[in-house]
Amino acid sequence: MSDILPFLKSLLSVSGLSAYETPAARLIEEKWTPLVDEIHRSRLGSLQALKKGSGKSPRPSILFATHMDAIGLIVKKIEGEFLYITNVGGVDVRVLIGTPVLVHATGLGKVDELPGVVAMPSAKLLPGDIKDEIWMRYLVVDTGLSAAGVSKRVRVGDLISFNTEPVEMSGEIVSGHSLDNRASVTALTICLEELKSKSHLWDVWAVATVQEETVFGGSTTSAFELQPSVAVAMDVTFGKGPGASDWETFPIGKGPTLSLGPNIHPFLYQRFKELADRLEIPYLVEPIPGNSGTDAVALQWAAEGIPTMLVEIPMRYMHTPVELAALKDIQRAGRLLAEFAASLEADFIEKIVWD
Amino acid sequence: MLTIGAAQFKLLERLCNAVAVSGDESEVRKIVLEEVKPHADEVKVDALGNVLVTKRGTSRNRPRVLLDAHMDEVGFMIVAEDGDGVYQFHTIGGVNERNLAGKQVQVGREHKPGVIGVRPIHLLESDGYTRPVSMDSLRIDLGPNGKAQIGERGTFATKFRRAGPSILSKSIDDRIGVATLIELIKHAPPNIDLCAAFAVQEEIGLRGAKVAAHFFDPDLGIAIDATPANDLPAHDGRENIFYNTKLGLGPAIYVADGSTVHDPRLVKFLQETAESAGIRYQFRQPGGGGTDSGAIQRSRAGIPTVSVSVPHRYTHSPISISRVDDWKDTLNLLYTALERTTKSLITERK
């Protein structure tokens, strides 16, 4: 496998829930710093890295946005040994029972990582009207600590992340939690590595955004602050596989998707498509009739509006602790972004027109 | 009294991380054989795969005491291929299907990594958010190039760990019994002939114990197992009266379950032993469920039998939880009981 794999696996081994992205941001900052000219955290915590172009100043800029936050759980109530929980982002309650988690406990004045498991009391201990359903409000996290231990170490509001180790499977497949969207962060890293040896006229902003899973907080504010001429969001999309085979799903290992629809500027879509064809980078076309549900939405209507594109990596089992994607698709997406940045002419903005 | 130290934890960790789904207990059998051989008078692997160990005492008129712990765990078998590394599977033993969705698994002797995924929540109608995923739509995904053979078995891919006063692991049921039995063989008292059965196929019908009891023809039998604690709080603050056992209250002595009513002389004997030695104990709430006791009791012309279990939460799931102190007290209750066991124990009428 490519030498980007250890970096991806390191990203899949840390928490970084929405608004608490620092564990992921630290790893990304370390990796990006040698690849860019400037790097800093925004006021909301997004990691904003600038790779300067070779064009005449003032230069136009392109912003690549990949969110680095992850979904997870948060302690809602403590009762004896047990922690009642609620979600941060769109957690799928159907997969929680028996899921290994890590409680980031703050009761001792520093973050104290406690392994635990999500459990549901037996039916006799639950109200009859939920029948056989699984409701978040009745689930608990058990850390194996005594009531006294829990009371000393855990506080309401403490975060809980998934605790599945990333695994490699045959055929250059990676599975773990938070591949959404650390797969794209990894692709953007590959893009920056490629740009090291490529000349590009435009400034390139690589941004690892915060709070996508909750309020699109990072993309909204970074687009405003950096005012790019063009923006490209990269995220994961639904992989075809068990339980998911309709038109909204895409096979893994056949390349990233190029999105098409009201969230996307048609000229950008066209340029991406032509470029991928020319370079023989495999891709799939992803029609999005309405809202893409990604950073691309916030980028598009930031400030006075930004021409926006969305590139996605097909991934199975989205929002579960066993998300699964093909490394090849990540590499292809990274290369495509780099080639796109390098292909931008000085007068590209003038070409982006309607009709 | 015996202690639980680094060596005992290390052994339990090896046992828990091994994969031995009913009918394919080879990995645990290997560890058991390696551990018991230096301490045993006789070791035999029988036709079903049970490991049968005899350790003779030295006193006169020794009772033959069968101690049983099962090596197998719940899991699944690969039963059909859908293509692209995706496989249909069937559960083995009582796996609650709610534990399967969204889990990492390991398949076959090489522990090939796989996952059980679900349709993304984004693509569900809102009335589907809280509905458990039905078993017939679940698949094991080994990645597009992944290969498994039909008939290969597997289970959850979680690893053993310790946390504060507890152990968090898959298959505490019944590796904690296996570890306890190995410890008792290493410290067998001289007043008995210890007949140790490391049994197969408990989870699918107490099959190994039946033939093991026949082979040993013991005077009495004790099954060492892990029993579910259902001791979580009720949703509305009412007292939980359905607890089965509670973590932290010591070994659970069985009085009656779905497989048998346990021998009253032996129940009383264990209770008196615990009280005189100052070891904590609890009675498991009589009810359903079963252990190898049921099979042992009705073997040959009948064998007086009882069960002692270490309580654990979240049975047959990726992560069960037990208290180290409950394990230690279970070990010592059994050890003390063996030291006090005589033939007259079961010749007295109840």
List the beta strands (DSSP E) in A80-182: 82-88, 100-105, 112-119, 140-142, 159-162, 167-169, 173-176
- Closest CB from B121, B141, B147 relative to A90: B121
Query: B173 phi and psi, to 5 degrees?
Result: -85, 100
Give the CATH number, domain containing residue B111. Answer: 2.40.30.40
pLDDT value at residue B350: 57
Per residue of chain A (355 residues), what is the pLDDT tens digit?
359 999 999 999 999 999 999 999 999 999 999 999 999 999 999 999 999 999 999 999 999 999 999 999 999 999 999 999 999 999 999 999 999 999 999 999 999 999 999 999 999 999 988 889 999 999 999 999 999 999 999 999 999 999 999 999 988 999 999 999 999 999 999 999 999 999 999 999 999 999 999 999 999 999 999 999 999 999 999 999 999 999 999 999 999 999 999 999 999 999 999 999 999 999 999 999 999 999 999 999 999 999 999 999 999 999 999 999 999 999 999 999 999 999 999 999 999 998 8
CA separation for the pair A282, A329 (Å, rounded): 9
Residue B219 lies in a domain: yes
C-beta of residue A153 within 8 angstroms of C-beta of residue A108: yes
Same domain, B249 and B298: yes
Tokens of A43: 């006021």
Same domain, B34 and B144: no
Query: A345 phi and psi, to 5 degrees?
Result: -80, 165
Tell me the residue length of chain A. 355
Instruction: Answer positive or negative: Cα dihedral of A24, A227, A304, A43.
Output: positive
pLDDT of B272 over the 90 cut: yes
pLDDT value at residue A131: 85
pLDDT value at residue B347: 83
- Closest CB from A175, A244, A252 relative to B119: A244
CB-based contact, B287 to chain A, within 8 Å: no
Q: Which superfamily does CATH assign the domain made up of A5-70+177-351 to?
A: Zn peptidases (3.40.630.10)
Q: Report B:97-126 residues touching A (Cβ under 8 A).
A: 98-99, 101-104, 113-123
Q: Catalytic positions of B, please? A: 202
Nearest CA-CA distance, residue A299 and chain B, Å: 21
Residue B1 lies in a domain: no
Contact A320 B117 (CB under 8 A): yes
Q: Which residue has the tokens 């006229």?
A: A201
Nearest C-alpha neighbor of B111 from the set B44, B168, B156, B70: B156
The residue among B115, B132, B156 that closes a domain is B156
Amino acid residing at A189: T
Contact A100 B318 (CB under 8 A): yes
Residue B95 lies in a domain: yes
Angle formed at CA B227 by CA B232 and CA B107, multiple of 5 degrees: 100
pLDDT value at residue A1: 37
Q: Report B:135-154 residues touching A (Cβ under 8 A).
A: 137-139, 141-147
Which distant-in-sequence residues (6+ apart) come within 8 Å of A159 by Cβ? Answer: A15, A17, A20, A72, A73, A74, A75, A88, A103, A104
Same domain, B148 and B27: no
Q: Which CATH code for domain A72-162?
A: 2.40.30.40
Contact A115 B161 (CB under 8 A): yes
pLDDT of B349 over the 80 cut: no
Of all residues in chain B, the percent with pLDDT exceeding 90 is: 97
CA separation for the pair A24, A182 (Å, rounded): 9
pLDDT digits (tens, 9 = 90+) for B19-77: 999 999 999 999 999 999 999 999 999 999 999 999 999 999 999 999 999 999 999 99
Categorize the per-residue pLDDT at B346 as very low, low, confident or very high, splitting at 50, 70 and 90: confident
Q: Is A334 exposed, middle or buried (0-12, 13-18, 19+ CB in 10 A)?
A: buried
Q: Please, which residues bridge with residue B162 across strands?
A: B167
Same domain, B132 and B65: no
* Ranges of each domain in chain A: 5-70+177-351, 72-162
CA separation for the pair A206, B31 (Å, rounded): 52
- Closest CB from A97, A119, A317 relative to B120: A317
Tokens of A30: 């370390």
Helix (H) or strand (E) holding B54: strand B51-55
Residues of B in contact with A144 (CB under 8 A): 163-168, 321
pTM of the model: 0.96
pLDDT value at residue A155: 98
CB-based contact, B94 to chain A, within 8 Å: no
Nearest CA-CA distance, residue A169 and chain B, Å: 6
Domain range enclosing B177: 6-73+159-347
Tokens of A299: 């980028």
Q: Please, which residues bridge with residue B308 across strands?
A: B224, B253
Checking ipTM against 0.90, whether it exceeds it is yes
Domain count for chain B: 2
Cα end-to-end distance, chain B, whole Å? 30
- Closest CB from B132, B157, B168 relative to A115: B168
Q: Does residue A17 sit in helix, strand or coil?
A: strand
